[in-house]
Structure 1
Amino acid sequence: MKNITTKKLSDILNLHKKYVNGKKDGVRANLEGTNLEGANLENAYLNHTKIKNANFKGTNLRNIVFIESDFTGVANMQQSVKDKIFATLKIVRLL
């Protein structure tokens, strides 16, 4: 599992926001296999993020958007959070 600094995570999230908004200098976030334990992701917009096998133990996921992100192998995410995410994805697909 890869560890990540708060600064590096912030940089990745800022570049990803640009990517989602179609900016030339944007880069799709790749957090596959990353240890996000205790990270503050409140209000993060992580559509289309690569997050397979990430560790979310103790991570603040309030108001986060994860549409079309791959959760395969994600560890330590509360089941209630997973249920809400998957329920939201089902609603989005129905629209």
Structure 2
Amino acid sequence: MTETLLADFSSYVLPTAQPGASLATILQSGSGNLGGILQTGDANGALVSQTGDYNSGHVRQSGTFNSAAVYQMGNGRSGAISQSGSGNRALIYQSR
């Protein structure tokens, strides 16, 4: 249920969605940032990736077997993943 993102984050693992489910992605670079993803249902995937400046993140999922990741590189950072249900997975990675 994971795949590797190519490009700048080649060594990080990302969530994927099962067939028929949703995969939501927010990629942000620089300045004010914020983000946010809300998903309901089963086997969904969510990714928030933020590089530089004020950051924030957020993911909210309800259902089973969902996966979420928030990657934040530099500056303000914050994170926040909320999941309800069973079999869910989450990862927050933050660097300076």
Query: Normalising to structure 2: TM-score of the pair?
Result: 0.37
Larger helix fraction of residues: 1
